[in-house]
Amino acid sequence: MSGRIVKIALDSPLDTEFDYRWSARADDEAEPQVGQLALVPFGHREVVGVVTAVGHATDVDASKLRDVMALRTQLPPLSPAWLALCRFAADYYQRPLGEVMLPCLPKGLRTASTVALDRALKKRAAALSSASPSSPSTAARPAKSAKSTQSAKSVKSASTVAVDASSASAAPTLNAGQQAAVDAITAAQGYAAHLLFGVTGSGKTEVYLHAAQSVIERAKASGQAAQVLILVPEINLTPQLEGSVRARFPQLQVVSLHSQLAEGERLRHWVAAHHGDAAIVLGTRLSVLAAMPALRLIIVDEEHDPSYKQQEGLRYSARDLAVWRARQLDIPVVLGSATPSIESWQHAATGRYRRLDLTQRAAANAQLPRVGLIDMEINKAPDGLSAPLLTALRARLERGEQSLLFLNRRGYAPVMHCDACGWISDCRRCTAFMVLHKPERRLRCHHCSLELRIPSSCPTCGNVDLQPLGRGTQRVEEHLQALFPQARVLRIDADSTRRKGSAQAAFDAVHRGDVDILLGTQMVAKGHDFQRLTLVGVINPDTALFSPDYRAGERLFAQLMQVAGRAGRAALAGDDAANSAANSAAASAAGSADRRAEVLVQTRYPTHPLYRALLAHDYPGFAQATLTERRSAGLPPFMFQALLRAEAKQLQVALDFLQAARDLMPCEGIVLNDPVPMTITRVAGVERAQLLIESNSRAQLQAFLKPWLTALREQKSRLRWSLEVDPVDI
Ligand code: ADP
Ligand code: ZN
Ligand code: ZN
């Protein structure tokens, strides 16, 4: 009798792999293989797990051993390299292996039913046979995967993009800097990490595309398959990039992987990546764990972006995993940014990463915008928009150019207030204010999502004249519409883009030129290549200067450089237009006979070093100063951290738990700080506290965490706690 014991990783908080028995039901049934998906009974449920070992021995009592119900033999096993990647992530981020492996797989693979999987495989087979030599239409393959509405939409938007950026489908001749970067990346034999430090608009995308092409062609020349993984920080950035990639490589299968794909489509894309059919996989952070058997190059665009860090469950950094994966596979990795993370900058300084610089904008005549500071101590602006900013806006409207206003605060006003008694719109469940949302006629808590109707009078004293305090995007939008009734104002933030597809429609409208003034939160600040934008106004960025979070400055600087980088990405249409505009009354009133695009930052601290560096587009100077500060303050990247968080109904219970955890075992070379309440202590009625663990050795920190967490789990405390390695928000 052929019987086997298989170890299976399951999506369970128990930090172990589970033993099952497998017996062949027919003589010709294949043996189970490591990396295969298997359906097994677990408690009263049937769940899918990943086979991590096949053998004969087990410590489990024979009477308790249960049988594997089915092996997913229709799918090739996940590769040893993929298993090793998950194992590393599980070890490093201190999570059970199954909680790493399973959640990153599409739902259709994790269900007892194989209907979705079989359908995906059938479509794949059909596409492959229609693309076989007998039918020469290879271009049919990417078209096939674009059947559903989602892809159809991206393809449509891709064509809009191609019209806007007419260079999209024909590769432009690389400039010297781009060529040098591509050469460096493709010359690399084996593992090499490159930090592509290119100013906004310097054409980093072209470097990615050329590097990808060269890697794929070289592999093909030696009869091998090659796959390239391109990570982007935001779903909203995928359509434009997907459009450029498809247009450039019509003969290759290009798939995207992100959480907004419909389930069936995500499964099909995953299957295409897993079989090696998709030459290029484009995705958000979760795609760093995509199975790609022929992966030869990894690109991380906007590598500094905080959204590469997963904030729940497995709290991983997709950028860091990308670098690990490249090293494991012995392939090159490219981290691109105009404002690299301080960590990456330091790695480049110490030679761990190789820095490749693009110092100029790529498009002919495109220049970095001029940055100006508007001193808000001098320029009072009761409605949030100062006179110089309004003048500049007016000039853009008259010239038919686009403007972007950046305010990183959604809603109408961050708080409502009663002048008579001092009442303020606190959230009763959180240490936070309820935000006024005027169009929706609601008070909303952005932390617990509690919603209330706007009170018609003060809940405490009955005063009917409640005042909004401060301003968010909705209020500025209202003000802009009143000031410029002819202008087409578009607000893009999490509220205006709740409906599926609405963000894409909004960005398409901007690209088409259907918008005069774009107003938005950080959603608009990231990598978009807006072609007609010549003015960026930044409203009220100062609060981040005084944040208790030591990374706030780095984030603010990156955000401002990025949003500033949306301006002046293309040369203006023709000198004539520009000259006549310069002669117009409005343009001279704005004092901008100079055709350079402009960034105006409203601040009360115009002499702050961060703004000084911004004026000079001086990222290296800013990074150097930040590194010096971090070194003397003993902060990352010169220190390694982990954060233990606990939640309880009473704050003291959470603090006591952390204190007990702190005293659990001796710790050499590790600093366990005092437990403290989190900055926003209460969320949805739950009190939250944290304990910061520090060490100047990553290895020492890792060596401490493992046994410590094991001991902590053994406490079987009923309170909720979690650990984050390399935390970004402290
Ligand atoms: P980044 O990602 O570095 O901010 P992009 O890759 O979006 O910049 O490129 C900015 C613009 O420059 C795009 O419109 C792109 O088409 C154009 N571009 C890139 N490389 C070249 C080149 N070699 N010649 C002309 N235009 C280029
Ligand atoms: Zn009142
Ligand atoms: Zn709340």
| Nearest ligand, measured from the Cα of 530 | 1
Q: Which residue type sits at 192? A: A
- pTM of this prediction? 0.90
362 lines ligand 1 (CB under 6 A): yes
Q: Is the pLDDT of residue 658 over 50?
A: yes
Ligand 3 centre to CA of 687 (Å) is 12
Mutate to test the pocket of ligand 1, among 163, 164, 167, 240 (most ligand atoms within 8 A of CB): 167
On the 0-12 / 13-18 / 19+ scale of CB atoms within 10 A, 215 is: buried
DSSP per-residue codes, 260-289:
TS-HHHHHHHHHHHHTT--SEEEESGGGGG
At residue 132, the pLDDT reads: 60
β-strand partners of 611: none
Q: Which two tokens stand for residue 591?
A: 């004092």
Please, are residues 350 and 338 in contact by the beta-carbon 8 Å criterion?
Answer: no
Indicate the DSSP class of residue 63. Answer: T
Residues 6+ apart with CB under 8 A from 277: 124, 128, 141, 253
174 lines ligand 1 (CB under 6 A): yes
What does the H/E/C string look like for 589-639? HCCCCCCCCEEEEEECCCCCHHHHHHHCCCHHHHHHHHHHHHHHHCCCCCC
Which protein residue has the closest C-alpha to ligand 1 atom 15? 203
175 lines ligand 1 (CB under 6 A): yes
* pLDDT, tens only, 298-356: 999 999 999 999 988 899 999 999 999 999 999 999 999 999 999 999 999 999 999 99
Closest CA to 478 of 413, 388, 553: 413
Residues 6+ apart with CB under 8 A from 284: 231, 232, 233, 234, 235, 238, 257, 258, 259, 307, 318
Q: Measured from the CA of 529, which atom of ligand 1 is nearest? A: 7
How confident is residue 139, by pLDDT bands cut at 50, 70 and 90? very low
641 lines ligand 1 (CB under 6 A): no
* pLDDT, tens only, 170-207: 789 999 999 999 999 999 789 999 999 999 989 999 99
Closest CA to 569 of 154, 204, 155, 230: 204
Ligand 2 centre to CA of 509 (Å) is 43
Q: Is the pLDDT of residue 538 over 90?
A: yes
205 lines ligand 1 (CB under 6 A): yes
165 lines ligand 1 (CB under 6 A): yes
Q: Which two tokens stand for residue 50?
A: 């990943």
At residue 110, the pLDDT reads: 96
On the 0-12 / 13-18 / 19+ scale of CB atoms within 10 A, 488 is: middle
Ligand 2 centre to CA of 428 (Å) is 17
Residue 2: phi and psi, rounded to 5, are -95, 105
At residue 592, the pLDDT reads: 40
569 lines ligand 1 (CB under 6 A): yes
201 lines ligand 1 (CB under 6 A): yes
172 lines ligand 1 (CB under 6 A): yes
| Nearest ligand, measured from the Cα of 429 | 3
Q: For residues 275 and 293, give the distance between their C-alpha atoms in angstroms, rounded to a whole number.
A: 7
On the 0-12 / 13-18 / 19+ scale of CB atoms within 10 A, 380 is: exposed
Cα separation values, 140 from 132, 220, 276, Å: 10, 20, 17
For 402, the enclosing helix (H) or strand (E) is strand 402-406
How confident is residue 2, by pLDDT bands cut at 50, 70 and 90? low
Q: Is the pLDDT of residue 242 over 50?
A: yes
Ligand 2 centre to CA of 455 (Å) is 11
At residue 133, the pLDDT reads: 52
Regarding predicted confidence, which is higher, 53 or 188?
A: 53
Name the H helices within 275-358: 318-329, 342-349
Q: Measured from the CA of 173, which atom of ligand 1 is nearest? A: 23
198 lines ligand 1 (CB under 6 A): yes
Q: For residues 41 and 443, give the distance between their C-alpha atoms in angstroms, rounded to a whole number.
A: 46
Closest CA to 721 of 636, 668, 656: 656
164 lines ligand 1 (CB under 6 A): no
Ligand 1 centre to CA of 200 (Å) is 9
The b/e string for 168-193 (b: 16+ C-beta within 10 A; e otherwise) is beeeeebbebbeebbebbbebeeebb
Start-to-end Cα distance in the chain: 57
Ligand 2 centre to CA of 422 (Å) is 6
